[in-house]
Structure 1
Amino acid sequence: MSASKYLPLIHPGEILLEEFIKPMGLSLALVSRSTGIPASRLTEITKCRRRLSAETALRLSKFFSTSAAFWIGLQSEHDLEVAERAVGAKIRREVVSLAS
């Protein structure tokens, strides 16, 4: 499948910003102070330039009353989709299934 046929990737930082921070009227500075996540890290995450770590997931889950698994799941799905787009076709050509 060509890259043009894929849906746009959704980074966990985009969900953090658009589904949590903005709708709640929060600032990155407030989230940073309240969670102990450095403002620079939050900025990088919300600009989709940095992965969301397990520690960050734990901090966000406590602050937003979600689960850390929610945040890690978003990051894992994003990582898998990036890998699929980058090397999925190559892997399917190179690797023979044990079930074949």
Structure 2
Amino acid sequence: MDVQNRTRPVHPGEILARRLDDLDLTIKAFAGELAVPVSRVSAILKGRGRVNADTALRLARYFGTTPEFWVYLQQTYELRVAELEAGEEINAQVRPRACLDPSR
């Protein structure tokens, strides 16, 4: 766990906001395109909501990407936040196990 990397985690909502700006879409119009509540899109854009599997499928379909792309962004964000919040404590509490047999 690399707790030395202190770069600010980027929420998927930031990436999504840039795409919406490029398309000149309102939140309401975009939510309609995805067939989801405006509150879901708004929460993601504000960094409070998560890109779950359903949303990832919809975003992938709309933008021509993969759902894995959107899930990856969310997971990477959550891991970075966890690393910043608890990484040092975890490093102090958990010792790495020495692997004597690489096949195990």
Same fold at TM > 0.5:
yes
Amino acid at match of 2:74: Q
Q: What is the alpha-carbon distance in structure 1 between the residues aligned to residue 98 and residue 85 of structure 2?
A: 25
Q: Which amino acid aligns with 2:42?
A: T
Q: How many residues align?
A: 97
TM-score norm. by structure 1 comes to: 0.89
Percent identity over the alignment is 35
Q: CA deviation at 1:49?
A: 1.0
* Rg comparison, structure with higher value: 2
TM-score of the aligned structures, taking structure 2 as reference length: 0.86
Aligned residue in 2 for 1:6: 6
Q: Which residue of 1 aligns with 2:76?
A: 77
1:53 aligned residue: 52
Could you give the per-residue CA deviations for residues 61-84 of structure 1, whole angstroms, max 9, x where no partner exists?
Answer: 101111100100000000000000
CA RMSD of aligned residues (A): 1.5
Runs of 5+ unmatched residues, structure 1: none
Which consecutive residues of structure 2, in runs of 5 or more, have no partner in the other structure?
100-104
Name the structure 2 match of 1:43.
Answer: 42
| Corresponding position of 2:22 | 23
Partner of 2:94: 95
Q: Deviations over 1:6-29 (max 9, x none)?
A: 2222100011011x1111111211
